[in-house]
Amino acid sequence: TSSCEGSSHKVEYSAAPLTSDENGQVKVFIKGAKVSGKSYLRAEVPSYDSFCFTVQTVDKSALFLKICGFFSLFYLGLVFMSFGLRTAASEKLKALFNSKERRPIADLLKGAFVTAILQSSGAATDMVVGFVNAGILTLSVSVPLILGCNIGSTIAPQIMACRLYSLIMPALLLGAIFRLIPGRRGDFWHALSRIFFGFGTIFLAFYLLEDTLTPLAGSVYFSEIGNVFDCSNGGVLPFLASFFAAFAVSAILRSSAATVGAVIILSYSGMMNIATICPLILGCNLGKSIAVHLSAKGTSRAAHRVAVIHTIV
């Protein structure tokens, strides 16, 4: 065989005649140049006309750096947006938590609302831990607030799953416009700039990751890696591997939103099935509780109990 016209780069392969298996299939591993992209090959079959087919070549080192770079861009977007939201609304949200009206349903809705606004259950839970440690809130009052925080943490993944790629450029443009408005550093307009920059950066990274990973979903290289975490055939080891991998990443990043976003991208790219997604999500949710325990370190016993309640629920 030899390369066909139209190939983005030259990949050639030649070998002795091959024999098909009982299903009529012939498997050939082709090693090309150290570049990523599509190549078009022509196969010659005796007694048949020659035909062209495509192969996807992968430079593993460059691909690894590209994926890490795009994921870093995604994480940076989360940090920017969360910081902007805290700057713009933190004091008002603290006042909402500290209001005198104490009803379980109202407190649950407050926790969900504050977490949805901050896009971080860790930040909202840290507020509750701080109030309990200061004696402003009691442990019984904090329980519905913590439940609401966990409910509100599901809002961010729902927004990520919408693939709002058409809003990337308008969000980045608004971020630039608000940044040019004169004012003291950290004021409301600059906070809005961070929010829009973060929003646009998150979905830009999503788009770049999906565009990079989707063509590689069926590659042999990624299939070998995916088999370690594949839970579709049952088994304890793949479940534990998926669970602890997500747990470790969430604990290190102190954010479940980042790891859940990565799971969403992998599922959209066809590299993850629903059986594997379940233990990954469980690991993400448990890993984020580590940050709450760290923030409760050195506080009162009641504040530590709030962290334990957050982990349990």
Q: What is the DSSP annotation of the chain?
A: -EEPTT-SS------S-----TTS---------S--EEEEEEE--TTS--EEEEEEE--HHHHHHHHHHHHHHHHHHHHHHHHHHHHHHHHHHHHHHT-S---HHHHHHHHHHHHHHHT-HHHHHHHHHHHHHTTSS-HHHHHHHHHHHHHHTTHHHHHHTT--GGGHHHHHHHHHHHHHS---TTSHHHHHHHHHHHHHHHHHHHHHHHHHHGGGTT-HHHHHHHHHH--TT--HHHHHHHHHHHHHHHHHHT-HHHHHHHHHHHHHTT---HHHHHHHHHHHHHHTHHHHHHHTTTS-HHHHHHHHHHHH-
221 confidence band (pLDDT: 50, 70, 90): low
87-111 b/e (C-beta count within 10 Å ≥ 16 → b): bbbbeebeebbeeeeeeeeebbbbb
Closest CA to 44 of 26, 62, 60, 56: 26
State how far the Cα of 272 lies from the Cα of 264, in Å rounded to an integer: 9
Higher pLDDT, 295 or 281: 281
Q: Is the pLDDT of residue 88 over 50?
A: yes
Quick one: average pLDDT of 220-229?
70
Across the strands, what pairs with 24? none
Quick one: average pLDDT of 268-276?
81
Q: Which of 53-57, 99-103, 157-161, 168-172 has the highest mean pLDDT?
A: 168-172
User: Could you report the per-residue pLDDT of 53-70, keeping only the tens digit for each?
Assistant: 555 566 677 778 888 899
Quick one: average pLDDT of 82-101?
72
Q: How many CB atoms lie within 10 A of CB 313?
A: 12
Q: Is the pLDDT of residue 173 over 90?
A: yes
Task: Render 157-175 in DSSP notation, one character per residue.
Answer: HHHHTT--GGGHHHHHHHH
